[in-house]
Amino acid sequence: MSLKWIDSLDIALDLLEKHPDVDPEKILFTDLREWILALDSFDDDPAHCNERILEAVQANWIAES
């Protein structure tokens, strides 16, 4: 399954698995964006990212931590 920017919960779960020791409340959005783009399952246009999407991913990551 390929992840898109709209899949904020699934992205957050993948990030939680890949970076279990990271506090998602302290991550910079620039780092968060790069980590999402580096996920093997992620396949979407990097230009379609915005702050609202990153906030949604971060919120889901916090909720699942």
pLDDT at 1: 81
- Of 29, 30, 10, nearest to 18 (Cα)? 10
pLDDT string in tens for the chain (65-residue length): 899 999 999 999 999 999 999 999 999 999 999 999 999 999 999 999 999 999 999 999 999 99
Give the pLDDT score at 47. 97
* Residue found under tokens 């990271």: 22
Please give the CATH number for the structural domain made up of 8-64: 1.10.10.600
User: What's the predicted TM-score (pTM) here?
Assistant: 0.96
Q: Are the C-beta atoms of 51 and 3 separated by less than 8 Å?
A: no
Distance separating alpha carbons of residues 23 and 48, to the nearest angstrom: 25
Q: Which amino acid is at 39?
A: L
pLDDT at residue 52, rounded to an integer: 98
